[in-house]
Amino acid sequence: MKRNRERLLRAREVISVGAISGAVGTYSNIPPEVEKYALEELGLKPEPVSNQVVQRDRHAEFMTAMAITASSLEKIAVEIRHLQRTEVLEAQEPFKKGQRGSSAMPHKKNPITCERITGLARVIRANAIPAMEDIALWHERDISHSSVERVVMPDSAIALDYILHLTKKVLEGLVVYPEHMRRNMDLSKGLYFSSKVLVALVEKGLSRDEAYEIVQRNAMKAWDTEGLMFKDALLQDPEVTGRLTPSEIEKIFDVDTFLKNVPYIYERVFWQILKLIEIKQN
């Protein structure tokens, strides 16, 4: 979202130009000084080379910046929609008291806000296409772009503003279920540790192909055997226990090893905010 904000600010700068340079941009009736003065009053810069119109690549940049921003919001919305599925249920958008999730099925909590974000993001992306079509004009002066821009530019700006507020509302009230996350992780029987087991066996002297065959064999056994966890399958395999002790295997299956550098990532992304908090606290 920081990148999207930067894109929108750049695009605003790019489109902040105007032209009062005559019918074909040669200042035949109006001197450049008049253009400069009038545009300064409007907070605009003169278009360096204009004809009858300002070049429409500028407007296309603004439209595509909005389309990319909308796509980022949809990315968030789609993830939440998936996480809210009954069989996943790791997170869900806020659902206030008295709200109806489905007109036909009272038990449902449909992710209607995230679905709305997804739908309007499609509209904003679609609007970027005619904006790019507007770049090429007959003899650089027809006004086929005008009717398009009167629709797509205000509609996209209003829609983007709307789904930005919707996304903020969803994230502020997001309901998260850590216990369901743990349950879903356990459905894989610990197989997400397979790469760590592979590396550990290679470090014990096996070739990578030999280690891979052993890990894959035990992984498939765990998948196909009711109630058998991957770790237990490894503990039953002499080729594994001949090289890794039970305590070493236990250490490999510590989920915290996957999370040890998460604080570093948060600090790298949010260091400016964290610095402000630290200053306030001191």
CATH number at residue 153: 1.20.200.10
Sequence-distant (≥ 6) Cβ neighbours of residue 273 within 8 angstroms: none
Quote the number of domains for the chain.
Answer: 2
* Whether 224 and 163 share a structural domain: no
* Whether 219 and 165 share a structural domain: no
Specify if 135 maps to a domain: yes
What confidence tier does 167 reach under pLDDT thresholds 50, 70, 90? very high
Could you tell me the CA-to-CA distances from 118 to 11, 69, 145 in Å, in that order? Answer: 23, 12, 27
* Whether 59 and 159 share a structural domain: yes
What confidence tier does 71 reach under pLDDT thresholds 50, 70, 90? very high
* Whether 75 and 140 share a structural domain: yes
Distance from C-alpha of 46 to C-alpha of 40, rounded to nearest angstrom? 9
What confidence tier does 158 reach under pLDDT thresholds 50, 70, 90? very high
Last residue of a domain, which of 151, 181, 211? Answer: 181
* Whether 60 and 172 share a structural domain: yes
Distance from C-alpha of 129 to C-alpha of 139, rounded to nearest angstrom? 21
* Whether 100 and 197 share a structural domain: no
Last residue of a domain, which of 181, 196, 228? Answer: 181
* Whether 169 and 208 share a structural domain: no
Predicted confidence at residue 103, as pLDDT, reads 72
Specify if 98 maps to a domain: yes
The pTM of this model reads 0.84
* Whether 177 and 107 share a structural domain: yes
What confidence tier does 176 reach under pLDDT thresholds 50, 70, 90? very high
Enclosing domain of residue 137: 54-181
* Whether 156 and 253 share a structural domain: no
Specify if 265 maps to a domain: no
Q: What is the pLDDT of residues 178-220, one digit of tens each?
A: 999 999 998 999 999 999 999 999 999 999 999 999 999 999 9
Could you tell me the CA-to-CA distances from 55 to 21, 64, 84 in Å, in that order? Answer: 13, 15, 45
Task: Kindly write down the DSSP assignment for every residue of 153-202, as one continuous string.
Answer: HHHHHHHHHHHHHHHHHHHHT-EE-HHHHHHHHHTTTTGGGHHHHHHHHH
Specify if 155 maps to a domain: yes
Predicted confidence at residue 107, as pLDDT, reads 73
* Whether 146 and 208 share a structural domain: no
